[in-house]
Amino acid sequence: IGEVLRLEPGHAGARVEKANVLYLADRLLEARDEAARLLADTSLAPTPLLLNLLGNAEYGLGNWQTSADAYLRAVAMQPEAAPFLRNAGRALESGGRGAEALELYLRAARAFFREEAYGELSLVLPRLLALDPSNAEARGLEAKMLYHEGRTDEALERLTALAAEGSGDSAVHYLLGLALAER
């Protein structure tokens, strides 16, 4: 990267990659500064990935609000990008803004579920349920994830509870019926 930048200092791809490598090397101050320089450069269009990188560096430095701002700008550019939603939620939660984080975590969970990214979903759900243990949508997503992962007994327990509470989610009732039929 250094050689490319020596030969062509304005090479946008190499500049972005330099910021990324600095972040991966845990050189957070340098990564943050490089990402900020790139975002300030009017010859380059800001990208959600670069904003996410800036957010990651700021988060690593403990700058919750600044990281949330960067992540939220990335979300504004790609509203359905689950990783950006999750990261923004995490930064807001760390900064003591749990109610705002909850909504972003919910959006991220929905997107991870749609993408069948159950590993990622399993990391978001505990944060959601920590902020709002009674959240029926989060509990429903958890039950659906468990069912799709083949963890039928765990799913059945949660689906039964949701149905007993009068869940309006038809998928909860459908999966409950499937799980009971499998038994």
pLDDT tens string 110-151: 999 999 999 999 999 999 999 999 999 999 999 999 999 999
Q: Compute the C-alpha angle 92/106/100, nearest 5°.
A: 30
Cβ contact 68:55 at 8 Å:
yes
Cβ contact 146:155 at 8 Å:
yes
The pTM (predicted TM-score) of the whole model is 0.88
Q: What is the pLDDT of residue 160?
A: 96
* HSE value, Cβ hemisphere, 13 Å, CA-based, for 50: 21
> Average pLDDT of 30-47?
92
Question: 107 or 9: whose pLDDT is higher?
Answer: 107
pLDDT digits (tens, 9 = 90+) for 65-114: 999 999 999 999 999 999 999 999 999 999 999 999 999 999 999 999 99
Cβ contact 53:19 at 8 Å:
yes
Distances (CA, A) of 171 to 14, 86, 137, 180, 181: 47, 24, 11, 14, 15
The two three-digit tokens of residue 164, written as one number: 């007993």
> Average pLDDT of 54-75?
98
Nearest CA to 73 among 57, 92, 51?
Answer: 51
